[in-house]
Amino acid sequence: MKKYLTLLFLFFSVVGFAKLKIATDTISFWKVYNGGELIKEGDIFSKNSKIILKKGKIRAIDTLNVKYFDDTPCHDCNGSLTIKTKNEMEIKKIENLKSNYDFDIKTTDVQVLAFKNKSSILKFYYREDDSQNEILLFEIEIK
């Protein structure tokens, strides 16, 4: 009887581990580059997704490149990156015709958007097509 219980326990342990492994392999994630250098990465469940840009360190030649990786990519969909203030007011939408998951914005444009909208924190969302489902990727704080 002990053998059967032990085998049953091992079976459920292996099945549970296999499901856990599959779940972690299929999480959508994002990466943010500044001038080609990775500055932050995370997944859609990240707790610490804030990027801090210091006013004195923002250069006119720098561009933020946002790459979003979807676990279930849609090849016929049009993706966009939406920027909102900390009060959830939409202030800019970035579309990319080359790729649904790759977006560029100049760091000076981010600083100007924050200043014009009196919001030191900007939230970046990913959306496919014109659906209402937005995914919060990260926040940028201008200090």
In degrees rounded to 5, what are phi and psi of residue 128? -100, 135
pTM of the model: 0.77
- Residue 19 has a pLDDT of 44
- Residue 24 has a pLDDT of 46
Total Cβ atoms within 10 A of residue 13? 10
- Residue 76 has a pLDDT of 76
Ranges under pLDDT 70 in the chain: 1-26, 97, 130-131
Question: Strand (E) positions, 70-133?
Answer: 79-85, 90-95, 102-106, 121-128
Q: Using alpha carbons only, give the angle 116, 119, 123 rounded to the nearest 5 degrees.
A: 110
Largest CA distance in the chain: 73
Beta bridge partners of 140: 51, 122
Contacts of 48 (CB under 8 A, 6+ apart): 42
Amino acid at 12: F
Q: What is the DSSP letter of 111?
A: H
- Residue 12 has a pLDDT of 58
- Residue 35 has a pLDDT of 86
Q: What is the DSSP letter of 43?
A: E
